[in-house]
Amino acid sequence: MVKIKSSKIKEIFNNLKNKKIAVIGDVMLDVYYWGDTNRISPEAPVPVIDITHEEIKPGGAANVALNIKSIGAKTCLFGIIGNDLYGSNFVENLRNYDINIENINIDPTRPTTVKTRILASNQHVIRFDKEDKNFISTKLEKKIIKDFEKNMKNIDGVILQDYNKGMLTPAINKKIIKLCNENNIIVTVDPKLNNLSSFKGATLFKPNLYEAEKILGRKITTEKDIEKAGLDLIKKLDFKHVVITLSEKGIALFTKGKKMEIIPAKAMKISNVSGAGDTVIASITTFMCAGATFKQACTIANYAASLVVEDVSIVPVNPDDLLKRLKNSGVVV
């Protein structure tokens, strides 16, 4: 287990307020309908949910930004929404969370991405999505890159947050990574399965186990398989670090030229793993920018993820709860 001196953790948390992390990627709305069910529909063999309340919050790359802000750092968000009611709701939600919206672009040719979940008795019953997975236009590509260049001097780290919804084109990925490397800015990637070669040269690459299998075209079952996968990803795409999230088994860490390390999962209970990856990438990037080593940042992120998976909805990590868990676990000495 990584041990972090209390003086060091205090320094890291104090540094957060002076750090700014840009999140560039697929933004969306997460919509929740909560209710009860105790009967089957006479129209079809499906449960009838009596809705008691609803919750609408920014999701996708916006949830990563919420995690960064909740942790205690500053953030700026680059994304695309549609010219629709959901887009207006998304903007209003960001304002409520006090997140700057000046780099959120409206594309009238596509809908705002929405993921709607219906839950009964704290269990997911169904989810349905509204989205357009086509790449954004060349005109929007150029605008996003130009907007990033204008903001770059005030940015300490960048997260490329990809959900295959069309925002992160190969041109954007390559240009952002090039600019970050030229200006010594940490740039991390939370990928899906498209355009992988365009992420080449990023500081850190964070797939989950399923994504790593699809990227490499093989099953990953044993610890030896995991180690080979991480090392192959570093070699294939020239990353400095790779983190493979292993769900209930924790996270596997890789650094170029070093052996794999696995940090076991720390959750007390698991209610919902959705959003855990957002918390991991947000925490690793933010804490590295605040002065934590790669391994320290990954350890902190692992405990941050343990907190959010205990909630049935998607929530950002609470820094006070995180610090308490780090102390109670013996990480902070």
Strand partners for 76 = 22
Whether domain 6-329 has CATH 3.40.50.170: the reply is: no
Candidates 328, 332, 325, 304; CA nearest to 63 is: 304
Long-range contacts for 6-11 (Cβ within 8 Å, ≥24 apart)?
6/332, 6/333, 8/296, 9/323, 9/326, 9/332, 11/291
Mean pLDDT of all residues in the chain? 91
Residue 272 tokens read as 């919902």
Residue ranges of alpha helices (H) inside the chain are: 6-15, 61-71, 85-96, 138-151, 170-182, 209-216, 223-237, 276-289, 294-308, 319-329
Candidates 30, 97, 22; CA nearest to 58 is: 30
| 145-159 burial: b if 16+ Cβ within 10 Å, else e | bebbeeebeebbbbb
- Cα 121–Cα 123–Cα 127 angle in degrees, nearest 5: 125
CB atoms within 10 A of CB 51: 12
Those residues whose C-beta lies under 8 Å from the C-beta of residue 268, and which sit 6 or more positions away, are 306, 310
How is 10-73 classified by DSSP, letter by letter? HHHHHHGGG-EEEEEE-EEEEEEEEEE---B-SSSSSBPPEEEEEEEEEEEHHHHHHHHHHHT-
Strand partners for 59 = 28
Task: Give the whole-angstrom CA distance, residue 279 versus residue 90.
Answer: 20
Active-site residue (options: 278, 311, 320, 321): 278
Q: Is 278 a catalytic residue?
A: yes
Q: Any idea where the domains of the chain sit in the sequence?
A: 6-329
How is 130-149 classified by DSSP, letter by letter? E---SPPPHHHHHHHHHHHH
Q: Render each residue's pLDDT in the chain as its tens digit; 333 residues.
A: 688 999 999 999 999 999 999 999 999 999 999 999 889 999 999 889 999 999 898 999 999 999 999 999 999 999 999 999 999 999 999 998 888 889 999 999 999 999 999 988 878 889 999 999 999 999 999 999 999 999 999 999 999 999 999 999 999 999 999 999 999 999 999 998 888 899 999 999 999 999 999 999 999 999 999 999 999 999 989 999 999 998 878 899 999 889 899 988 765 555 445 567 899 999 999 999 999 999 999 999 998 988 876 654 556 778 888 888 888 888 888
**Residue holding tokens 């070669």?**
197
Instruction: Say what the pLDDT of residue 40 is.
Output: 92
